[in-house]
Structure 1
Amino acid sequence: MIAHVDDALHEIVSTEALSGSELEVVFDAPTKDWAARRNAPTVNLYLYDIREDLRRRPAGHLEERDPSSGHVVMRRPAPRFFKLSYLVTAWTQRPEDEHRLLDSLLRAFVKYDALPPRLVVGQLAEPQQPVRLTIGLPPPEDRAFADVWSALGGELKPSLDLVVVAPMWTGQEFPAGAPVEEGLTIDASDLVHGGRDEGRRLHEPPPATMPTTGTPRARRRSSR
């Protein structure tokens, strides 16, 4: 899934932001050592954070039906959504050229609320969900761009925060049981064959009992 997102972003940067120029597009960590080795104008899309978007985690399962009968044959958990955060930077010899590149990058991404369908392929396309993206939004409260640059060991540099929200299947699948047929079937073979006498006794009324008027001693006393 992440590789397909990388390919889609590379395509947008190469064909729309750079308009066929010879700039290099990479996904390296922009550390101080990397910056020292760089010797050509470069656009860097560094994936620095991956986390699930818990607000979009759905409940329940999705049903897969047989196309001919319409019966449910499989149930699977709904796809989960993961936020892939990219630090987008431009590297040239002059700050003015870097600013122009950032402007082109911003214009290329700001017109998209989601990746174009032609770029949503492979595992990225399997959940059949739009792949949302945002550009230049403020970072979450628990993270600042200065902290990212500090972790990389480099100096703070103008950058764009590009976030792609990509769906992913969990890989769990639960086969459905056979469909329930209409009607109710009762097996009464025990009553019809081997249990004929038992069945008759169950339906016969209990034997009548004669009421008694007293004990034998009481009857002898009453006859005197």
Structure 2
Amino acid sequence: MIHEVDEVLKRIIGGGALTGSGVDVSLEAPTRDWAARRNAPAINAYLYDIREDVARRQRGTTPVVDDRGAVLKHRQPPRWFRLSYLVTAWTKQPQDEHRLLAAVLATLIPREILAADELPGSLGALGLSVPLTVAGTQTESRSLAEIWSALGGELKPSLDVVVTAPFPAAPEYDAGPPVTEGAAVRVRGIDGTLEGSPERSHRSLRPADPASTSAGGTGSGGRAPFRGSEGPQPR
């Protein structure tokens, strides 16, 4: 999941206002060694913090259904994690770095929500939209000064970008097979025997069965009516 968020963020930053600019987007740690190897303008998006967003944690299970609506499995709701990126610009002139940061800001501000259809791999398969915040209030315990000190570099202007992404929880539980045959009911006679007792059956309808919407297919509440056999009914 983390590498998929990396891929999405790198694609978004490299697009928008920076499309066709030739500016490289790097995910490496912006250490002194990395800065020394750089020979062209670059945007660095360094993942410096990962922690769960406990306010989004849910209990229970959610059903996994097929295209007919039949329940195949039950799974626990995904856990949500805040992935915090330190986004910086690297050029030879501070003014150019500020222009690059402004371009990144203009690109990310409209992207408050990332739709599921633009997310790759297992992240998109969950079918959930992903929130993105930029330059918000920092809630992580580590300060930016501590981060730059750990990287061995000098403090630079930066944007704090947070992507809150779902992570599938395990395990999954297989559901029982769907009901394909109706129940049958036989009523005992006064003498307690089943001899001569008519059978009343209930025809089961699959979730997407066209018969469920045909005339006489269902009664009130979406249930098929009982159909008794011909002949006298037991008293």
What TM-score, normalized by structure 1, do the two folds share?
0.75
Matched, 1:57 2:57: yes
Structure 2 counterparts to residues 13-52 of structure 1, below 5 A: 13-52=13-52
Contact 1:133 1:163 (8 Å CA) reproduced: yes
CA distances 1:169-207 after superposition (whole Å, capped 9, x unpaired)? 12421112356887899xxxxxx9xxxxxxxxxxxxxxx
Separation in 1, partners of 2:120, 2:185: 48
Contact 2:117 2:124 (8 Å CA) reproduced: no
Which sits farther off after the overlay, 85-94 or 25-34? 25-34
Give the structure 2 partner of residue 95 of structure 1: 94
Contact 1:31 1:153 (8 Å CA) reproduced: yes
Give the structure 1 partner of residue 226 of structure 2: none
Residue 95 of structure 2 aligns to a residue whose secondary structure is helix
Contact 2:115 2:128 (8 Å CA) reproduced: no
Q: CA RMSD in A?
A: 2.5
CA distances 1:8-63 after superposition (whole Å, capped 9, x unpaired)? 11221222131211111111101122212221111101111111111101111001
Gaps of 5+ in 1: 186-191, 193-224
**Which amino acid is the alignment partner of residue 44 of structure 1?**
N
Q: CA deviation at 1:4?
A: 1.8
**Which amino acid is the alignment partner of residue 155 of structure 1?**
E
Residue 92 of structure 2 aligns to a residue whose secondary structure is coil
**Which amino acid is the alignment partner of residue 130 of structure 1?**
S
Which sits farther off after the overlay, 104-113 or 15-24? 15-24
Structure 2 counterparts to residues 2-151 of structure 1, below 5 A: 2-65=2-65, 67-68=67-68, 70-140=69-139, 142-151=141-150
Contact 2:60 2:76 (8 Å CA) reproduced: yes
**Which amino acid is the alignment partner of residue 4 of structure 1?**
E
**Which amino acid is the alignment partner of residue 18 of structure 1?**
L
Contact 2:116 2:128 (8 Å CA) reproduced: no
Gaps of 5+ in 2: 187-192, 194-235
Separation in 2, partners of 1:159, 1:184: 72
Separation in 2, partners of 1:11, 1:88: 14
Residue 171 of structure 2 aligns to a residue whose secondary structure is coil
**Amino-acid identity (%):** 49
Give the structure 1 partner of residue 176 of structure 2: 177
Residue 125 of structure 1 aligns to a residue whose secondary structure is helix
Separation in 1, partners of 2:74, 2:34: 47
What TM-score, normalized by structure 2, do the two folds share?
0.72
Separation in 1, partners of 2:116, 2:20: 22
Separation in 2, partners of 1:4, 1:56: 20
Tell me the number of residue pairs that the alignment of Structure 1 and Structure 2 aligns: 187
Name the larger-Rg structure. 1
Contact 1:71 1:179 (8 Å CA) reproduced: yes
**Which amino acid is the alignment partner of residue 75 of structure 1?**
H
Residue 123 of structure 1 aligns to a residue whose secondary structure is helix
Residue 25 of structure 1 aligns to a residue whose secondary structure is strand
